[in-house]
A and B are shown apart, each in its own frame.
Chain A
Amino acid sequence: MSLSSSGRAVRIHEIAMLGAFALFLATVEYVIPKPVPFMRIGLANLPVMIGLTFLTTREYALLAFLKVFGQGIIHGTLFSYVFLFSLGGSAASVVMMLIAYRLAGRHVTFVGIAVIGAFASNMAQLFLARVFLFGEGAWLIAPPFLITGLITAVVLGLFTQQFVLSSRWLAAKQEGVRRD
């Protein structure tokens, strides 16, 4: 797909806007009290899943980068292990969600895609936690970590499904892509 320069500029704004939305949701998640410090809800994945429906692979990768890098800047974790965890988890989930959507988009709902993404992200983070923080003890926290990840992914997937079905903004974007 080749876009005109004005079309490309519009798309850049859309990616930046979705990236900003991810940051906003990451900020919301940051202040939500959690029983375990490393527990994640994954709210910031909502814009990333929305992006699946109208961005090209390259644009989608750019959005994922903006999400991870922006979170690193806002939370001040850019040069810490936390950034590595975020990068590893996001890279794994983004790749798996993209593959799932492209290969079986019509047969898998966003609940399925969110679950696949959360599982990939959590496994990558467990591997990093084993290397950098917990050693072999990381596998002991794996069951609760994966179960909470599964539950939050189902909730997020249901919400995304609802958003994709009812959002006028997203419908306009998808219409724009069809015209281009």
Chain B
Amino acid sequence: MTDRRNIPLIAGLCMLPALVFQFDLLPLLLQLGLLIIIRLLQGGRIRVKTNLMMIVTITAVNLLQAHGQVLYEIAGFEITLGALRIGLVRSLKLIALIYLSQFMISQRPAFPGRLGNLLSLQFSYYEGFLNSGLKVNPKQFIQRLDELLFQLEEHRGDPGDRFQAAGSVGWIPAAAAAAAFWVIYATAPLL
């Protein structure tokens, strides 16, 4: 796997265990911060509202299971430190995994073999759908969809590769990001 497009994928695979096995809140926040910086450097967007919704929802459901020291009591409902920590760790880890995953596939890694070709073909048709301007409008949707399917079929045989990849990542920054990730993981007990 020497293809440059696979650099983020390889770096991400190296970073993955340091994130999956991270159970401390502060180091997890640092790892998430690093991933957000990488995402921004690659020209990606950060969905603040979606992330906040995820944090609130996952933490709220975890708070339903009281665990550890009681912090507050609201109308008979106990907010416990243990449940709060578990909820925050789970939600932040999920968000961090999504950003790591986005980084890993940011260059559209080259998947090998016939399956790789099939995926290319799928993305070529996907672009056709995106460019078609097809709207999910119940009125005449089936008719318009039918026309589009016939139309796309006529242009078969041109898989192309017009996927918009993010900014290129070299070996050195990718290795530096992976190293920083593991440094945070290794120093977690000190934080």
Contacts and interface: CB of A to CB of B under 8 A. Distances in A.
A17 B149 contact: yes
Interface string B53-92: 1100110011011000000000000000000001000110
B101 interface: yes
Given A78-B104, A79-B12, A13 B126 contact: no
A28 B145 CA distance: 15
A78 B106 CA distance: 11
Given A12-B121, A69-B119, A81 B94 contact: yes
A72 to B, nearest CB: 8
Interface string B139-158: 00010011001101100110
B42 to A, nearest CB: 11
A141 B61 contact: yes
A24 B53 contact: no
Interface stretch (B26-34, B128-136, B175-183): B128-136
B113 to A, nearest CB: 13
Nearest to B12: A79
A163 B141 CA distance: 9
Contacts of B145: 163, 167, 169
A170 B44 CA distance: 38
Interface in A22-78: 23-25, 27-28, 36-38, 43, 62, 66, 69-70, 72-74, 76-78
Given A13-B156, A169-B153, 4 more contacts: A37-B50, A62-B118, A140-B64, A166-B142
Interface of A: 12-13, 15-17, 19-21, 23-25, 27-28, 36-38, 43, 62, 66, 69-70, 72-74, 76-83, 132-138, 140-141, 162-163, 166-169
24 contacts: A12-B118, A17-B125, A17-B156, A21-B129, A38-B57, A43-B136, A66-B118, A70-B123, A73-B119, A74-B126, A76-B105, A76-B106, A79-B12, A79-B13, A79-B101, A81-B94, A81-B97, A82-B94, A132-B90, A133-B58, A133-B90, A167-B146, A169-B145, A169-B153
